[in-house]
Structure 1
Amino acid sequence: MSEKPWAGRFNLPTDIFVEEFNASIYFDKRLYKFDIKGSIAHAVMLSRQGIIAESEARAIVSGLEQVLDEIEKGEFHFDIGDEDIHMAVEKRLTEIAGPVGGKLHTARSRNDQVAVDVRMYVMYEAETVKAYLINLIRVLVDKAVNNIGIVMPGFTHLQQGQPILFSHYLMAYFQMFKRDFQRINDLMIRANYCPLGAGALAGTTFPIDRNYTANTLGFYGPTENSIDSVSDRDFIIEFLSAASICMMHLSRLSEEIILFSNPDINFVTLTDDYCTGSSIMPQKKNPDIPELIRGKTGRVYGSLMTMLTIMKGLPLAYNKDMQEDKEPLFDAVDTLLASLKVFAPMIEKMKVNVDKMQQSAGKGYSTATDLADYLVRKGIPFREAHHIVGKTVAYAIDNNKNLEELSINEMQIFSKFIEKDVYNYITLDASVNSRNSYGGTSVESVMTQIKLAKSFLDDNL
């Protein structure tokens, strides 16, 4: 059992079960790159400030680089007795560099050390999330461009409402994922401040240069309050919140893909390489990928709730409870990245069944609102027009006809204002392209949306 840094205060060694319960090394070891990077910056700063000798800093940096190399090559032995990644790295550094390795921890605590490690980790993974989001956005925009003019039914309450362009539908999800991208960007602005140098909670008596370490590590600058520096986990909660919202968007689209790929609906067909079969029913083709993403969304929600619960009653400053921040964060990162990684190519390869979409769009009296608008243009108040069209639709249902199949004589049973020009307004294409308001579903309006989306992509690629 390795001697603990605090052994001078204690008369008894740590109980073996306490050691196992207390250790985080088996999950926080994935922070090793950030821990070593932060330690190198700290060592150089100590030398620049005359707190340790330049030769000592060189020995420490060389030793840390060797530790990094050993970990990357799989030659490093992680021992539960080291408790966490910080102590594991420092112990091995001291084995390599000798007693000078012990000087690395001058003017810092594990409290500010882990805070800077996790911040760097979140910033790194946030950039990766942004890259995956941009790729998904590109896929959605390309698919909207390639399917412009295809009409599908639009739904409210999962009931047919009005005909829309399939491209308009896709661009709705573009808006969601654009906001996800912006949320990640936004949280990175607040997270990008360096807590290193805050010490345990009160700062340090040594003449450190926190601006140097912050700039070296790529932060905007140092955090402004040493207590908040070590006790803040808002940046994790913000990341998990953004991840949860993004997963919610993926889940909503997954739900619709599952519905739309059902053979009875058949709007889209997923390629075989993104589906699985049944072990007992040979005919089955199951949309397991969108189903899994729908399920994994709850897992990311759980990570967010875990962090909110951990932090809700903690007094200042650092508390051991905060060790529990890493596993939910790591799991959420892995889940979100895996979901985004598999989702974009699935959508890209997905086949759009044009005829089935357009056939379905013609059912359900989806142009009834257009008939009401037609009557309003004739001077009838909308509420009265709504009532007239409702009766017209009821008549059509009773007679098993679509609206455009009704004769003028039949329509005029309900309003003498209906004339032959009505057929110019109640076809699918006329309905779609008449909705030319900004953000509407007409081809012209959707092309404007696509143009703006391409500009967003150009600005963020």
Structure 2
Amino acid sequence: MSADDASPGPTTLWHGRLAGAPADALAALNDSLPFDQRMFAEDIAASRAHVSMLAAVGLLSDDECDGILAALEEVRSEIADGRMVWAPTDEDIHTAVERRATELCAAAAKMHTGRSRNDQVATDLRLWTRTAIDELTGLLLGLAGTLAGRAHEAHAAGVRLPGYTHLQQAQPVGLAHHLAAHAWALLRDVERLGDARRRTDVSPLGAGALAGSTLPLDPAAVAADLGFAAVFENSLDAVSDRDFVADTLYALAMSGIHLSRLGEEMILWASAEFGFVRLDDAFATGSSMMPQKKNPDVAELARGKAGRLIGHLTGLLATLKGLPLAYNKDLQEDKEPLFDAVDTVRAVAVAFDGLMQTVEFDADAMAAGADDPFAAATDLAEWLVAHGTAFREAHEIVAGLVRQALDAPDAGSRRSRLAELVAAHPDLGPEAAALLTPGSAHLSRNTPGAGGPDAVAAQLERLDVALTSARSLQDGR
């Protein structure tokens, strides 16, 4: 059906240029109300600021301003309470708010003066994104704080475990060191969100459709009213810029990646093969067929949803890459990925925080892996270096001893065989063999930022300071 064949109906904001009503197929493709109505509070806040500015510059009377503001408050209440009756012509939240406000107060027909939906939607989305960033920053800081708290507990208990490279046991570290590593990653996510927020915190209202206005608008007053830190510099850029959405999606994708990595470790550690952790029943599921199963679904979903977050980022970047200035309807595709990414990170962060608060660590199982004498092979090489041997030669000597020990028939004899070989070696001897005793390798690594107890104690102090600083910055917004 062509647009000319469409049956006449209620008018749109742009009906004056076109003779007929839009075709149903166009309306179905074009209408964004089903997803952008979640910005209703931001749209009404921006409209209130715009109306107040119009009155301040003499484009509305005080009575008109008061009437429109009252109508906008009623619309806000109706939507918030679920009393709003949506109309077929409500193609987006901006249309719906203006339509209903005009029904309540005829003067509201003037509130679009000096404004386009192009700068209006950009303003709404910046307001919404700013709020979402603040919420997610708080949740990620909460999870980082939980990890730091569990790290303090593990450090006080002296819990150690094998560290891994290539998923092969490498060198022992404190559990506190391992948990803190994830906390530092989340703090970087918080920093990235802060950077995205700074670039989001710019008001585009007053840019109009693309070229500003001939009317005496005051964009700075609107920006101040809405709490923006800055005002747009270029009207073309203001309505077409979605860098802040891409920045936010990148920060959220990185958060998803970090949560996925933590999830992968919880999945491995909860397996019978590792046995490092026991998940609380509240944060695990069972099997519909196998009665013995306890599944780490929170961690698996965190791992799976990282791909979704990466997809949102790459999808938006592909949308933006070919757009000419200024506004194009392609930009309507910015909201759904952003909304879903925020919802996804929120859900994962909350669930993972609960998992990490309640998970039980099996210190004995971890120590059994950490105390494997083969994990001290690097310590033996460094002992030789400390006694004058070049590292490459030391590496070769220890590797040869490891190779000989691995020829023993079983794990127990391999471990004892390594200690015997080290004690008997002319360049090593009993003093070096003492490095293979349980716990020794873990205790000796205390260079700055390392995984030994003294270094970890200093690191946890720095982590606490970093968390406090990030929380203070968050509270000051």
- TM (norm. structure 1) is 0.97
1:451 is matched with which residue? Answer: 461
Check whether the contact 2:373–2:437 (CA below 8 A) recurs between aligned residues: no
| Matches of 1:409 and 1:441, distance apart in 2 | 27
1:107 aligns with 2:114: yes
Letter matched to residue 181 of structure 1 = V
Check whether the contact 1:40–1:61 (CA below 8 A) recurs between aligned residues: yes
After superposition, the Cα gap between the structure-2 partners of 1:91 and 1:408, relative to the gap in structure 1 and judged at 3 Å, is closer
Consecutive unaligned residues of structure 1, counting only runs of 5 or more, are none
Per-residue CA deviation, residues 223-279 of structure 1 (Å, 9 max, x unaligned), is 110000000000000000000000000000101100000012100111111111111
Counterpart selection for 1:368 from 377, 381, 385 = 377
- Secondary structure of the 2:375 match is coil
1:209 aligns with 2:218: yes
| Matches of 2:144 and 2:305, distance apart in 1 | 21
1:436 is matched with which residue? Answer: 446
Letter matched to residue 43 of structure 2 = D
Per-residue CA deviation, residues 76-98 of structure 1 (Å, 9 max, x unaligned), is 02234210000000000000001
1:90 is matched with which residue? Answer: 98
| Matches of 1:80 and 1:294, distance apart in 2 | 41
Check whether the contact 1:230–1:317 (CA below 8 A) recurs between aligned residues: yes
Letter matched to residue 220 of structure 1 = A
Among all aligned residue pairs of Structure 1 and Structure 2, give the percentage whose two residues are the same amino acid.
41
After superposition, the Cα gap between the structure-2 partners of 1:42 and 1:297, relative to the gap in structure 1 and judged at 3 Å, is same
Letter matched to residue 76 of structure 2 = L
Per-residue CA deviation, residues 84-135 of structure 1 (Å, 9 max, x unaligned), is 000000000000001x111100011000000000000100000000100111
| Matches of 1:158 and 1:131, distance apart in 2 | 32
Deviation at 1:48, TM superposition (A): 0.7
The worse-fitting range, judged by mean Cα deviation, of 432-441 and 417-426 is: 417-426
The worse-fitting range, judged by mean Cα deviation, of 372-381 and 64-73 is: 372-381
The worse-fitting range, judged by mean Cα deviation, of 288-297 and 392-401 is: 392-401
Alpha-carbon RMSD across the aligned residues, in angstroms, is: 1.4
1:50 aligns with 2:58: yes
2:82 is matched with which residue? Answer: 74
- Secondary structure of the 2:114 match is coil
Deviation at 1:186, TM superposition (A): 1.0
1:141 aligns with 2:148: yes
| Matches of 2:369 and 2:444, distance apart in 1 | 20
The worse-fitting range, judged by mean Cα deviation, of 234-243 and 184-193 is: 184-193
| Matches of 2:465 and 2:319, distance apart in 1 | 41
Aligned residues: 459
Counterpart selection for 2:399 from 369, 386, 390 = 390
| Matches of 2:423 and 2:187, distance apart in 1 | 47
The worse-fitting range, judged by mean Cα deviation, of 394-403 and 168-177 is: 394-403
2:21 is matched with which residue? Answer: 13
Deviation at 1:9, TM superposition (A): 1.4
After superposition, the Cα gap between the structure-2 partners of 1:275 and 1:364, relative to the gap in structure 1 and judged at 3 Å, is farther
The worse-fitting range, judged by mean Cα deviation, of 290-299 and 229-238 is: 290-299
Counterpart selection for 1:378 from 379, 387, 390 = 387
Deviation at 1:409, TM superposition (A): 6.2
1:427 is matched with which residue? Answer: 437
| Matches of 1:433 and 1:2, distance apart in 2 | 77
1:296 aligns with 2:296: no
| Matches of 2:40 and 2:437, distance apart in 1 | 63
| Matches of 1:361 and 1:408, distance apart in 2 | 16
1:170 is matched with which residue? Answer: 179
1:238 is matched with which residue? Answer: 247
1:335 aligns with 2:357: no
- TM (norm. structure 2) is 0.94
| Matches of 1:82 and 1:410, distance apart in 2 | 81
The worse-fitting range, judged by mean Cα deviation, of 429-438 and 116-125 is: 429-438
1:352 is matched with which residue? Answer: 361
Letter matched to residue 421 of structure 1 = E
| Matches of 2:87 and 2:179, distance apart in 1 | 50
Check whether the contact 1:408–1:419 (CA below 8 A) recurs between aligned residues: no
- Secondary structure of the 1:425 match is helix
| Matches of 1:455 and 1:166, distance apart in 2 | 20
Per-residue CA deviation, residues 423-445 of structure 1 (Å, 9 max, x unaligned), is 34333422122211110011111
Per-residue CA deviation, residues 293-349 of structure 1 (Å, 9 max, x unaligned), is 111111111111111111110000000111111111111110011000111110110
- Secondary structure of the 2:89 match is helix
| Matches of 1:364 and 1:198, distance apart in 2 | 68
Per-residue CA deviation, residues 410-455 of structure 1 (Å, 9 max, x unaligned), is 3365x41213211343334221222111100111111111111111
Check whether the contact 1:300–1:332 (CA below 8 A) recurs between aligned residues: yes
- Secondary structure of the 1:67 match is helix
After superposition, the Cα gap between the structure-2 partners of 1:167 and 1:80, relative to the gap in structure 1 and judged at 3 Å, is farther
- Secondary structure of the 1:373 match is helix
1:252 is matched with which residue? Answer: 261
1:405 is matched with which residue? Answer: 416
Consecutive unaligned residues of structure 2, counting only runs of 5 or more, are 1-8, 472-477
